Amino acid sequence: MNTTTPITPRDLTQQAPHSPRYRIAGFVIAARAVDKCRASLAGTLGEYHYDCPLDNMLFTFKGITSAEFTTAVQAAKNYEDIGAWLLHNGTPKTPAEIKTWSDEVEASSPMKNPERRGYFIENCHKIGLNPEMNSMFDWLEADDRHTFSSRKLAQPTPVIVHPAYAPK
């Protein structure tokens, strides 16, 4: 039985990265950051940005740099390798801390940040979302769907989450 999920290259000019909701070892954003990192290295990042404010939420929480994460991604054979690396590098975090942080980030909205509110409102309206009712992750997923709606999307690679870090 295969218990690992290989990291398949994603050409982000042709398909979206993973949803920021997909969790690796309990961490939101991680699978999306892996996809963008790999695409950046391959020159297939398209309009996406690696080491962006979203990625840096993860890097800051874990006390790592984008360069360290990039090195880990280059060495990883699967998403579980990245999960193990996140758990053992940077600032130590308990499963409860990881879950709390991930849940809070997943539910967060730029509406609460005066510096980002206008951008969020404008971009939500462009794709038909109500910024008062949607989270940052809702907007990112809708934007991905909107961007690639005229193209056939590849099915996302499922990410296996260690049971200790699975949402309950």
Quick one: DSSP state of residue 19?
Answer: P
d(CA 106, CA 58): 12
The structural domains of the chain, with segments of one domain joined by +, span 30-165
Q: What is the pLDDT of residues 18-41, one digit of tens each?
A: 999 999 999 999 999 999 999 999
CA 15 to each of CA 38, 39, 55, 74: distance values in angstroms, whole numbers, following the listed order: 13, 11, 19, 21
State how far the alpha carbon of 103 is from the alpha carbons of 29, 86, 138, in Å: 11, 17, 14
Residues 6 or more apart whose Cβ sits within 8 Å of residue 127: 139, 142, 143, 146
* Reported pTM: 0.85
| 24: β partners | 27
How do residues 75-110 score in pLDDT, each as one tens digit? 999 999 999 999 999 999 999 999 999 999 999 999
